[in-house]
Amino acid sequence: MTSGFGRWSATATHHSPLEDAQGILTGALMVTIGLSILAHLGFVTGGTAGLALIVSYATGWNVGIVFFLINLPFYGLAITRLGWAFTIKTFLAVACLSVLTALQPEYFTLGAVNPLVGAVLGGVLIGYGLLALYRHRASLGGVGILAIYLQDRLGWKAGLTQLAVDLVILVLSFAVADPVAIVYSIIGALVLNLWLAVNHRPDHYIAA
């Protein structure tokens, strides 16, 4: 069965609204924690989140608000190419992430974090969060929408598409981050996108 997320099992069962809600909330929460680790260390990441971090570092604006605003232009593509259900779920996921990111400093603070551990852990947590969203036919918008669309239409792996875009965004990060931080950021981005490339296999997942 073909969908906005690739070719699904023909016998796939559908998630209930409650299952979708917990999947979206859990995915957004995991991405929030992963981003908070990267931001705490002054690192960046790829995709829309990485672009939001770069803008936040440069302007001092709240990263959650920047992330929400950057995603707005992508909803047109989501509606026309991936459908209303996907778009609504993605909008809710982006809204959850924006709110959680804004609240995070008040309820979740970090102390000393080893840079390499932080880069790897941040990448894994964001990867897990995105995987949860993908399996509930949602994303965090932006590059995620484009990556899933290209996987559906051209068969390109979503993780590898995001990796290519992420590398471009990481190059842009030289304007706001020091070279050492960028090296660790690249490690985190590789962990994140290779995780998705290996684990985002719609044909192996039995629920939709």
Does this model's pTM top 0.85? My answer is no
- Rounded CA-CA distance 24/89 in Å is 8
Q: Is 45 helix (H, G, I), strand (E, B) or coil?
A: coil
Q: Do the Cβ atoms of 93 and 140 come closer than 8 Å?
A: yes
Averaged pLDDT for residues 13-36: 89
What are the CA-CA distances from residue 16 to residues 19, 20, 21, 22, 86 (Å)? Answer: 5, 6, 9, 10, 14
More confident residue, 7 or 144: 144
- Rounded CA-CA distance 32/140 in Å is 11
Q: Is the pLDDT of residue 124 over 90?
A: yes
Orientation of helix 17-40 relative to helix 47-59, angle to 10°? 40
pLDDT at 104: 86
Question: What integer best gives the mean pLDDT of the chain?
Answer: 82
Q: Quick one: which of 35, 39, 42, 163 has its CA closest to 94?
A: 35
